[in-house]
Structure 1
Amino acid sequence: MGEQHGCQTCHGDTDAHVADPTMKNVLVYQAKGGSAVDELSAKCLACHDSDTHMAMWKMSKHSRNDISCFNCHTMHATRGAVDQPTKCFTCHRDIKVAVNKQSHHPIIENKIKCSDCHNTHGTATQHMIKDDTVNQLCYQCHAEKRGPFVWEHSPVEENCLICHSPHGSRHAKLLVEKVPNVCQDCHDWSRHPGTPYDANAGFTGSSPSNRFFARSCLNCHGAIHGSANFENHGLRQ
């Protein structure tokens, strides 16, 4: 905004309020200020009218939950007074717990921020992510997992979140479960049985429990995102 703005630009008829403080015709940007949420947001959007702010706001999850601009933005303080994750964690406390787990995206280290993945003003996608699908969003940073591969692992093609938690996990590599449990959610005993133990097989480094219960899936299947060999099902080369 190049032009100068005074109190009345945002608060309305402040002169009348000064003349008679009992008049409640001014906009108050506080949670319990008495002004309607839609009215407050409309006042902000009168100036901040770019497509970034306007296009999806009214149908966004934030707007539908009566979140107004002032819930996240301060009108008088300078930008950056509070870092973005701290502000988001005010409401999203479950995410604050997640990003402090052992395995997490580096949000608390200030290497990425919430808006790298989410558009807080709304999108046409679930969870207000900034790309058309979860996978497309993940591939912006994790391009090496994209392929194309000769052998494709179906869950990888479908949705990264089948195996990974997006914010944090108590398991390595943000996995939703530890290996082999995460593997056995799909590769159960009936569909992917272990190899019967043969004491004479000469397969060193294995044991009956490893081979029957898939405790060492990643020892053999290291290329879990995809492989250049159609027949090897992600086996290490």
Structure 2
Amino acid sequence: MQSLSCRERCPMNWKQLLVCVMVLSLSLSVYGGTTSCFKCHKRAAFDKAVVHKPVREGGCINCHSPHVSRFDGLLNYRTPEICYQCHIREKVKFSKIVVFHSPVKKGKCLTCHDPHSSSYKNLLKNGVPSQCFHCHKDMSKKYSHIHVPFKKGRCLVCHDAHGSSDYRLLKGKDPVICLKCHRDSPSIRKVHSGYNMKDMKCLYCHNPHGSSRKGLLRNVLHKPFAKGECGKCHNGKIKEPAVCFQCHAEVKSAFYTNHNHLLSSGANPCVGCHSPHASDDEKLLVGKEVALCRKCHGYVYQTKENALYVHPNWDQCTDCHNPHGSNSLAMLYESGNKLCARCHETQGKFTHPVGEKVKDPRNGQPITCVTCHDPMGTAFKYNLKRSGDKDLCVQCHRGY
């Protein structure tokens, strides 16, 4: 008997066949998500108060492969790419962000969100502030005086959970964000010695979460401010930094070094880093050290973000750098080799020769630790600037 080809056996043309395949695929999506998947996966995890749209519509295979995948959870793509298939507006928004919330920067959407269903708005795994406190544990401490939004757990009144132009992820600049609730009124000006609130930096003196002091004043007070001796600094005669040097003579000597933090343009005065009134830091810093340095030295942090190997305690900048000034390059406390030897005691004893007598053939400068190592982070072990197998060595040893 003569055998028939597929085309001869099937009465449909290719257009009709394509329609059938599309209908079959759609039915498989609905049927598979609502019936087949739940034969193994318990439905309770998918039936909470807020359900992700693909789950609600039975579209499990929109995100997951039913058979095999290169990604965890049998996902069709890794996160965040799979999320951006639908959340296009968020992708556009994130492309304009300057400072990212860490999970967003790392593409870890599922750190905060449940991809299937949740008991909380926006598919959060926990409600706010519990979700925030999961990482920001230091924020869960108790205060005797608490800012109302923080007391009510409304973190998102002030912060953007994804990113911002501000390193604290604030939704607006200080004092604009504060003045949305705290109107610039005569009563507020009276408390602040008549100053125009629009010219103030509220967060220099006030803790926006809570404090042991009334008025949410930060816990460490500058001595003249604590004593009410405003005239010691606000005398209208001496300007910063000279007014600061009247008391802080030791800092003045640090600024009169070859490499210091004072800029001739006057763009980096003392109050760029310190609050002249109140702070939660013993040195009256206006923020945490790692965040404060990042405001200007963002490129250093970007290097670290892209590195596979970073120096231990990389975020403790003042372990190696004098924040005011030094006679050593990069405001290091000592010249490179001596500084490294504080911790690396065997340095120079059985390593590649280093020191003033050993010259780099490329530039004639002395070979130091940082000739080969980058303490800010690199792609290679031991913070080497290039691969230690050969590539680093042949930069100088051409005949190798």
Is 1:50 aligned to residue 33 of structure 2? no
From the superposition, tell whether residues 106 and 212 of structure 1 become closer, same or farther in structure 2 (CA, over 3 Å).
closer
Amino acid at match of 1:152: I
Instruction: Return the match for 2:136 from 142, 146, 155.
Output: 142
Contact 1:150–1:227 (8 Å) recurs in 2 = yes
Which amino acid is 2:64 matched to?
A: H
The amino acid across from 2:31 in the alignment is: E
How far off is 1:161 after superposition? 0.2
Offset of residue 53 of structure 1: 3.8
Distance (Å, rounded) in 1 between the aligned partners of 2:70 and 2:44: 18
Which residue number in structure 2 is paired with residue 189 of structure 1?
184
Q: 1:83 aligns with which of 78, 82, 94?
A: 78
Q: CA deviation at 1:151?
A: 0.8
Question: How far 1:74 sits from its partner (Å)?
Answer: 1.9
- In structure 1, the residue matched to 2:203 is 218
Opposite residue 225 of structure 1, the aligned amino acid is H
Q: Unpaired runs of 5+ in structure 1?
A: 1-18, 199-207
Helix, strand or coil: the match of 1:87?
helix
Change in 2 beyond 3 A, CA 1:235/1:54 = closer
The answer for the alignment partner of 1:5 in structure 2 is none
2:212 aligned with 1:228: yes
> SS state of the match for residue 182, structure 2?
coil
Structure 1 counterpart of 2:102: 106
TM-score normalised by length of structure 1:
0.70
Letter in 2 for 1:153: H
State the 1:65 CA deviation.
6.3
Quote how far apart the aligned CAs of 1:232 are. 3.8
Q: Of 147, 154, 167, which residue of structure 2 is paired with 1:153?
A: 147
CA contact (8 A) 1:62 1:122 kept: no
Aligned to 1:12: none
Name the amino acid aligned to 1:216.
Answer: K
User: What is the CA-CA distance between 1:90 and the residue it aligns to?
Assistant: 1.3
The whole-number CA distance in structure 1 between the counterparts of 2:124 and 2:91 is 18
**1:62 counterpart residue number:** 53
* CA distance in structure 2 between the partners assigned to 1:114 and 1:178 by the alignment: 26
> Alpha-carbon deviation of 1:32?
8.6
Inter-CA distance 219–32: structure 2 relative to 1 (3 Å threshold): farther
The structure-2 alpha-carbon separation of the partners of 1:173 and 1:20, relative to structure 1 and needing over 3 Å to count, comes to farther
Equivalent in 27, 39, 45 of residue 35 of structure 1: 27
Q: CA distance change for structure 1 residues 170 and 147 in 2, over 3 Å: closer, same or farther? A: same
Gaps of 5+ in 2: 1-8, 221-400
What are the superposed Cα offsets for residues 97-150 of structure 1, whole Å, 9 maximum, x if unpaired? 34441111134643x61111111110121111111x210100000111122111
- What secondary structure sits across from 1:33 in the alignment? helix
Overall identity of the aligned pairs, in %: 25
- The partner residue of 1:171 within 166, 174, 177 is 166
Q: Mean Cα displacement is larger for which, 66-75 or 43-52?
A: 43-52
2:183 is matched by which residue type in structure 1? Answer: D
Contact 1:151 1:234 in 2 (8 A): no
What RMSD over aligned residues (CA atoms) do the two structures have, in Å?
Answer: 3.4
**Displacement, 1:60?**
0.8
Structure possessing the higher relative contact order (Cα contacts under 8 Å, 6 or more residues apart): 1
Structure index of larger Rg = 2
1:95 and 2:90 correspond: yes
Q: Whole-Å Cα distance in 1 between the matches of residues 23 and 79 of structure 2? A: 19
Relative to structure 1, is the Cα distance of residues 54 and 217 closer, same or farther in structure 2, using a 3 angstrom cutoff?
closer
CA distance 1:60–1:185, shift in 2 (3 Å): same
